[in-house]
Amino acid sequence: MAEDLLVGIHPVLEALRAGRTLNRIWVADGVRRPEVREILELARQHRVPVQKVDRDYLRRLSGSLPSQGVAARVAPTSYASWSEVVADLARGQGPALLLALDQIEDPQNLGALLRTAEAAGVGAVVVPARRAAPVTAAVARASAGAVAYVRVARVTNLARALGEVKDLGLTVVGLSADGEHNLFFLDLRVPLALVVGGEARGLRRLVREKCDYLTRLPMLGRVNSLNASAAAAVALYEVVRQRCFMNNLP
C-alpha cells in the first residue's frame, strides 16, 4: 500500500503509542511542547528517523492541514477484516457495541465519530466501501489520534452486513430525525449495532429496513436535528450510561 501522511501532534503521538510503523517524522525547529518530547523519545525507542526542518518546509509538506510543528510518513491505516469482526461478535464476549456509518462523506465528521467511538468503547466501526470518506490524514487529525485504536471495516453492502449481525443476536438501532422511538426510552444494554446516516441523505431505505428500531433524539429547540457526529456522541454515551450506571458498575 502507498504511504500516507499524518499531520499534527496527536495523530503522530497516538500512532507511535499504538505501535504503527512510521518511516520518518518531521519536527519543525523551535517546537518545545511536552508531547513533542514524548514523540522524540518514542521515535528513538522505535528507531524512527526524525528530521528537523523549518516551518516553511513543514507547511508545504502538510498542505492545508495545520501541523502543530509535526508530521510523519506512515503506511495508511489498514481496514479491519469484516469476517473477523463478525467472528468476534459471534464469540459474545461482553455486550457487543458496533457503530455503522451510512454515507458519512465528510472527513471531519468521520474523524469526530471515530474519536467518540473509541472513547465510548465501540468494538468496531463499519462503513460502506462506496460513498463514504476513507480513513486519511485529515480523518486521523480530526480523530485526535483515535483512529490508531478503532477497528474500521469496509463492506460492499452495509444493509447485508447489518443483516449478518442481526443473525448473531444484535439489535440494530438507527438514528433518524423522523424515528418512531425516543432513544432514551430504549434498553440499550443488549448487544447493539447503532446506525448513523450522513447529514445530507440520512439512512438509505435498505439500511432503514434492517433497523429493529428507528430512533430520534428529543429536540427542544427550533432546529430539528444535530449533525451526524454530535447525534452519534449523544447516542453512544446513552449506551455507556445505561451499561455502566444502570448495572451499578463504577
The count of domains in the chain is 2
With b for 16 or more beta-carbon neighbours within 10 A and e for fewer, the 47-65 pattern comes to: ebeeeebeeeebeeebeeb
Kindly provide the b/e burial profile for residues 193-229, where b requires at least 16 CB atoms within 10 angstroms of the residue's own CB.
bbbbbbbeebbbeebbebbbebbbbeeeeeeebbebb
The reported pLDDT for the residue numbered 93 is 63
- From 74, 103, 120, the end of a domain falls on 74
What domain range is 187 assigned to? 82-245
Among 217, 82, 90, 102, which residue's Cα sits nearest to residue 155?
Answer: 82
Residue 182's contacts (CB-CB under 8 Å, 6 or more residues apart) are 215, 216, 218
Mean pLDDT, consecutive 10-residue stretches, the chain (250 aa), reads 72 86 88 90 92 89 80 79 91 84 92 94 93 82 81 94 95 92 94 90 92 92 83 95 74
Say if residue 19 is in the same domain as residue 93: no
Residues 119 and 216 reside in one and the same domain: yes
Domain with 104 in it: what CATH number? Answer: 3.40.1280.10
Do residues 111 and 14 share a domain? no
Indicate whether 250 belongs to any domain.
no
Specify the pTM: 0.77
What is the Cα–Cα distance from 250 to 245, expressed in whole angstroms? 7
Q: Which pLDDT value is given to residue 1?
A: 36
**Residue that terminates a domain, selected from 45, 74, 103:** 74
Residues 184 and 100 in one domain: yes
My answer on whether 203 and 100 are in the same domain is yes
